[in-house]
Amino acid sequence: MPRYTFSTVERFAVFKVHGPKCYMCGEPITLKTMQVDHVIPEHLLSDPNRLAANLTELGLPLDFDLNSYENWLPCCGSCNNEKRGNVYGPVHIHLAYLKRAGAKAADCVALAAEWKVDAEIDKALAYLEAASEKDQLDYAALKPLIVAFAKADPRLFQATVAVALEDVPPTALEFTDAIIFAISPGFAVAYEGETHRLL
């Protein structure tokens, strides 16, 4: 059975909502180093009887979706590799992890929906994540994100452009330094005069 492929937006949502630390060991992680762990292992999907037994044992409905925010938490590579496909019963800590994921699932869904990500925006987010290492951006590749930003807050976007072009009445804006706008969770672009900088 093929493993679930997380979209960039799903990864961002898990990282942003749950925070930059491994849910098992508590060590700090970055978006780049984070792995999304299935609290209930995904491999159980290939064994429906064992999956049903485990869900029942955990007190979860039989239609519980293993590939959902209710079963995903941010993890470091070391803990994820150590855990692997281990299946746990109703152990207190395991139930606590499931409760944590479930409690914040709606926040993850809302954050992902907020972006209303289509294929082009998702592609631009993936490009941005890769480009951040090199500190070199092709702004044409970011067009879907910039357009989404403009649609989400036209007034701020107009103000950003106006300041970047230095064609603004002094009373129109309160910007004194670089103008920064977040184009995705964890990434922002700063306009400073005629230069752009990735934050």
Compute the mean pLDDT over every residue in the chain, rounded to the nearest whole number: 80
Looking at the structure, tell me whether residues 146 and 173 fall in a common domain: yes
Looking at the structure, tell me whether residues 110 and 129 fall in a common domain: no
- Span 134-144, pLDDT tens digits: 666 676 776 77
- Span 8-67, pLDDT tens digits: 889 989 998 999 999 999 999 998 899 999 999 999 999 999 999 999 999 999 999 999
Nearest alpha carbon to residue 196 among 148, 139, 133: 139
pLDDT confidence bin for 177, thresholds 50/70/90: low
Q: What is the pLDDT of residue 14?
A: 94
Q: Indicate the residue among 93, 115, 137 that finishes a domain.
A: 115
Show Cβ contacts of residue 171 under 8 Å, excluding neighbours closer than 6 positions: none
- Span 127-172, pLDDT tens digits: 777 776 666 667 677 677 677 767 766 776 776 666 666 655 444 4
Looking at the structure, tell me whether residues 174 and 103 fall in a common domain: no
Q: Report if residue 15 sits inside a domain.
A: yes
- Counted domains in the chain: 2
Q: Report if residue 1 sits inside a domain.
A: no
Looking at the structure, tell me whether residues 105 and 127 fall in a common domain: no
Looking at the structure, tell me whether residues 18 and 104 fall in a common domain: yes
Q: Report if residue 83 sits inside a domain.
A: yes
Domain span including residue 161 = 119-198
Q: Report if residue 59 sits inside a domain.
A: yes
Q: Sign of the CA dihedral 49, 54, 57, 58?
A: negative
Looking at the structure, tell me whether residues 152 and 58 fall in a common domain: no
Looking at the structure, tell me whether residues 59 and 86 fall in a common domain: yes
Helix axes 8-18, 119-134, angle to 10 degrees: 70
Angle subtended at Cα 12 by Cα 10 and Cα 14, rounded to the nearest 5 degrees: 70
